[in-house]
Every structure is written in C-alpha cells, then in structure tokens.
Structure 1
Amino acid sequence: MLPPVIAGVDGSAESLAAADWAAREAARRDLPLRLVHVWNWHPRQEDGEPVTAAMGVPPTPLRQWGRHQARRVLRQARARVRAVAPNVLPYDEQVEGPATAALLKAAEESELLVLGSRGLSGFTGFLVGSVAQGVLARATRPVVLVRVDEEAAGEHLPARGGRPSVLTGYRDVVLGVDLGEPCDAVIEFAFEAAWLRGARLRVVHAWQSPPLGLGPGEIGLVSGAQRAEEWLGFLSAVLRIWRDKYPGVEVTETVSEGRAQSALLRAASGAGLLVVGRHLTDRPTGPRIGPVTHAAIHHVGCPVAVVPHE
C-alpha cells in the first residue's frame, strides 16, 4: 500500500483546517488519506510516564469517554474531508497517547504528516508546547503545519477584483536553501510540490557579510554585488539537476544579504507553501528545529513544510 498523507485531528478548528489541506494534498499526490486522533485518558500524563489512575477515578469510564470523543472528532473530520475532496476516501484511527510518541509513530508510516497550528498564538489540542516541538524536532518524515484560517482558495491566486477563487492558478511555492549545505531531500520536496500544483517555485538563499579583519585578497574585500553574483551562480548550479528533472516547473532564484529568517518571511508573503529543512542529527542539547524553521512556523501565514534531512 502506498504511504498515506496523515492528518492529526483533535476537533479544533485548526486541526480541521489541517485535515482539509491534507485531503487536497492526498488528491494531488493520488495517495490515501489517514486521519489520526490521539487521546489520553490520563490528562496529566507526560510523554514517557506510566499511566496510573488519577484522583481515584477508575480508568475504564475515562477510556470509554476518550474513545467516544475520538469517534465524534473523526466523524467530524471525515465529513469535512468529503466536502473538500469527494474523490478521497479517508480511513481513520484513534490512538492512545502519549501524544508526541503517537504522532511520531504515525509520521514514520506517512508520505507526510499534516498538523494544525494557531500561528502566533501557539498550538492547541494535542499540540501543546513540548508536544509540538517534539514532533517537529524528531519526525523523520516531512511535517506540514497549517493555519486555522487556511482554505482551498488561499492556495490559489485571487481572481479579477481580488476575489478568492479555486479556479485560478496556484500561488508560488517558496523554498529556502542553505548553500553552505544544500540538501536534495528538501529541494526535491519543493520541486515536487510546485510540479503537482503547476505553480512557480521561488528559491531563496540569504548570505551574510564575513566578519571584519580579513587580510588582503580575502572574500571580505569583494563587493556585495560581486558576492551576490557568486552566490546566484552557485544556487543556479545546485538547482540545475532539479530543473532538468522537473522541466515543467518555472523557477526563480533570489539571493539577498541578511538573515535567512528575514529573507524567507519576505519571500513567503503571498505564497501558497513554504518549504524549509531540518537536520536529523541530534545536537548535544537534544533535537531542535533551528532558528529559521522556528521563525517560519511562528510568523509565516501560508502552510509550512518542514523536511528532515541528514
């Protein structure tokens, strides 16, 4: 069986928006859709702690209530999916927590995992604080975060007069590339996403001036315009193989001086999808999502795909 697109749903508006987006993506990729609801009958249980009866309440009624709530949430999500993508036949699953572990296990079996986010207000439902960070920082498959107000028309360019429409072309897919360590998995994900949509791919790299105090002949003495030209040539060389593989994708390349976070936020304004990478290698301080991805998931208005790589 083909790996599914998986949406985590908890009954919140943002998780239903994630299910909608996942259904449309499953249709684009011609993949099955799986809806996963994570529940935990012990509400104070932390990831990795054993489950024990809380406050003298027997576990059986709480488990029954949890399963009942899960069925209700999944019914609601299925109804939304049928309305958005009638040709996609979802199957669903209810899983007992801990939430982070359950979502990570689901992600391992997926083509990509889609979760809802409130954006600047943080995460809700099963995505609370460390859970959200844990999923993004440890997932071995791509994770897409979708805002609560994301709708099908939001993926498309506005119609005449600025009216929302699903009949117009798709908005740009934006890809952030670190030319110090370009990664094939991240680049391929972005090209594939643009190809599936018939959208333009905008590839962005930001570079910063080297520190002062370099000796004669060092790159620090090269003008900013010359450095930009060199970076642009490097970016074009990195993308050449992918242009050949996806000849139907229109690609624009941009390099700018400054912080990568700022460059991506500017580029993602008005985009339909932002694609960024995340290192799989654990750091001494433990898995983390990095400053660029952190800025993207908190401040970018469009869906954000976080693609893990070695």
Structure 2
Amino acid sequence: MNMKQHARLSVAPMMDWTDRHCRYLHRRFSRHVLLYTEMVTAPALVRGGALHLLKHSPQEHPVALQLGGSDPQELAQAARLGAEAGYDEINLNVGCPSDRVQSGTFGAVLMKDPGLVAECCAAMIAAQPREVTVKCRIGVDDQDPEAVLPAFLSRVAGAGVGRFAIHARMAWLHGLSPRENRDIPPLDHDLVRRMKARFPHLHISVNGGVESLDQAGAMLSSGLDGVMVGRAAYHRPAEILGAADRRIFGAAGPDVTPEAAARAMLPYIEAHLAQGGKLHQVTRHMLGLFAGRPGARAWRRRLSQGAARAGAGPGVVEAALAEVSGSTATAV
C-alpha cells in the first residue's frame, strides 16, 4: 500500500497530543491509517539541534513528520533530517493559527504568501527523497476562500506538491484563540469538494469536524481522496480507528477492541519504564479507550490517579482493565 492509499484516513497532527506514545497506541488499532507527528519547528531541528524530537518507533509506520517554518533552506535541512530519521512523508504546516507560530511567520499566516510556501516546498522536495505534502486552511482573516484557496493550491502544486490536507475552516489570526479557531469559524466541506473537482490531479484530504467513520466514508464516497480526523480519533480511538482497516481500507477483520489495544500496550509500557520513562506519559493518551462504554469513568479514574503515583507500573493498567471488564456502570 502506497502513501496515497494510507492517506484515505489519517490522524491529524495535534500539538501536545500526537507524540510518539500516542502514535504507538493508535497503531495498535490500525495497520493502515496514516499517522502524523506533532508539529516540529525547523529552527528547533536545524539551529537548536533538537534531534530527539524526531525519535519514533519502527512500529509507527506509516508515519509523517510535520514541520513548521518559513525559511526555505532551513526547511530543506529539516526535511532532510526527517527523511534520514526514517519518516515516510514530510508535511509543511500552513494551518496553525497560534500566536507563537505567527511570531515565527509560519503556520496559517503563510496562507497570505503562497509564493513563499511554493519556494519552501520546492526546497524541501529538492533536499530529500520523501514526498512533501501541505496541510492548510481555506483562508485566513478577511480573505475570500473561493478565490484564495484555488490560487494557493495552484501555486504550491506548481512547486511539485501533489497532496494536500485542507482544514475546511478559515483561521482568524486576530481575535480568536487557537482553540476557538478549531470550532468557531464555520466548516465548508463543500468548498474542499469543489477544489477536488477543480484539481482532479491533486490528492485532497478534508480535515475538520469529522466525528465518525460513517462521516469519513461518506466524504470518500463524495469524491474526496482522504479524510483527516483530529480530536475524535484522540478522544475515541476505538470508535474511529478500531474498525478503520476493515471499513476504510477493505482489510479482513476482526476489528480491534479497546481491551486488545490496552493489553498490546503493556510490553511497550514496560520498555518505556525500563528506559526511565513515567507511566503517565503513555497512559494519558489511553484515557478515552473506553469512551461510550460501561465502566469508562472507572477506567479513566483508575488510570489517571494510579499513573501519577511514584513507581506506577503496568499493574495500574491491569487494575483499570479489571474495573472495566467487571463494570455494570453507565458509560460517561
């Protein structure tokens, strides 16, 4: 299966969430879903030498590195480092609206300068062998997305980018927080569909507001090439990812249960602790495993409280699993 096929369903890059432990957990549910790192800034890698940010497990593949930056040569160096570290794809962030990102002149503010984005992508493509992709918004501030988005796609595609993930919301760089920018600007999935019709040669994934596999399947059936799911995949991984291989990729079952995924994490947790890690660094991503199931509240309570204690180990997960399997409580 090639990367375009994996990109039929992907988990969005999310700061403070999609770290290597989260990605390892998500891979327990699906062999085929494309995973993304948190955004890593090119200056941190190139100027700061923070190569530890590139660490990942071989079991995470297929996995893409998302970079943030606006200097073509610096991004080229960062992309090369990412390829050397073994990532399957290098993605440029043109969608994050946070103040910190804006101050570095990258993220969503780059929607205002498609020429610079094209220059950055061309440099990244020339520097290393992995495919370079872009995650963007439909526009920022007072831009007209009907005019801005096709011009952006055309210019950046001309630099050699063939795959885009489009967050189907405007980004307001002033007046809305990053959290508000994920919810308040209205979604325009139809605009993304029109972009696919206008640029049939491009691989276009839609991002934003996708809450279920049914919705993802409908979007794929409508002609889009891929669907990128964010918070729903993080908070309800079993619901979104557990049946993804069968329903989205046509693989044989059975679907992965949250119990099976939790038990598959135990050897990983043991190895993490043996290397000096803390239990909560892994289990904080596991709190939503049983979302919507009886005992979900007991699972979260036992896991969150137990993982914070000194010397906490895999037994905390085993005890939490015992509560879920024996619970008749109402799901919360």
**Superposition TM-score, scaled by structure 1 size:** 0.26
Greater C-alpha Rg: 1
Q: Which has the higher contact order (CA 8 A, sep 6+)?
A: 1
| Greater helix content | 2
**Superposition TM-score, scaled by structure 2 size:** 0.25
